[in-house]
Amino acid sequence: MNRSSLIFLGAMIILCACTPNPPTDAELQTMRTAVRPSSPEAAQAAVRAYFEKSLFDPAAAQYRFSMPPIMGRATVQEMRKFGWFMCGDVNGKNRMGGYGGYRPFFAHFAPSQPDKVDDATIADTSETLPVLNGWCRGLYGTAWDSR
């Protein structure tokens, strides 16, 4: 083999090692049978209820729900999640009483319970913003605005 063939082969091995494993049958079954939120409004209420636990002044939080719930899959901190998701923006008050600005959120709905958020996060640092935007872009494609 010549040098360029060895470089190409090495690059292919690296690419193959980085390719995520395809979903298992059980994971695909979870996605197919996941309970859809009963309505966009119910999904929005579930997101608000979830973030009530973590926002400083949840009653004053402002939300933008520009995208409807969507079925899909995402890898979050090496955990693969399947089912229904929702992305949007939240603007909460800080401890000084002022709004901090809209930040994207990512929510995963419980696969077996309608209108219940299983897990969610808000992009609260410059490091988490591109990760969260990547998850949302993976679900919604080019329709997701990187904000």
Tell me if 130 is assigned to some domain.
yes
What are the CB-based long-range contacts (under 8 Å, 24+) for 58-66? 58/92, 60/92, 60/93, 61/90, 61/91, 61/92, 61/93, 62/90, 62/91, 62/92, 62/99, 62/102, 63/88, 63/89, 63/90, 63/91, 64/88, 64/89, 64/90, 64/102, 65/40, 66/145
Tell me if 6 is assigned to some domain.
no
Q: Please report the pLDDT score of residue 9 as a whole number.
A: 35
Query: What is the average per-residue pLDDT within 117-137?
Result: 90
Residue 52 domain boundaries: 24-143
SS3 80: strand
8 against 139, higher pLDDT = 139
Tell me if 2 is assigned to some domain.
no
Q: What is the pLDDT of residues 25-57, one digit of tens each?
A: 877 777 778 899 999 999 999 999 999 999 999
Tell me if 54 is assigned to some domain.
yes
142 against 96, higher pLDDT = 96
Q: What is the DSSP letter of 110?
A: -
Q: Work out the percent of the chain whose per-residue pLDDT is above 90.
A: 50
Number of domains in the chain: 1
Tell me if 12 is assigned to some domain.
no
The pLDDT of residue 137 is above 50? yes
Q: What is the pLDDT of residues 50-83, one digit of tens each?
A: 999 999 999 999 999 999 999 998 887 777 888 9
Q: Please report the pLDDT score of residue 93 as a whole number.
A: 92
Tell me if 8 is assigned to some domain.
no
**Per-residue confidence at 20, pLDDT binned at 50, 70, 90?**
low
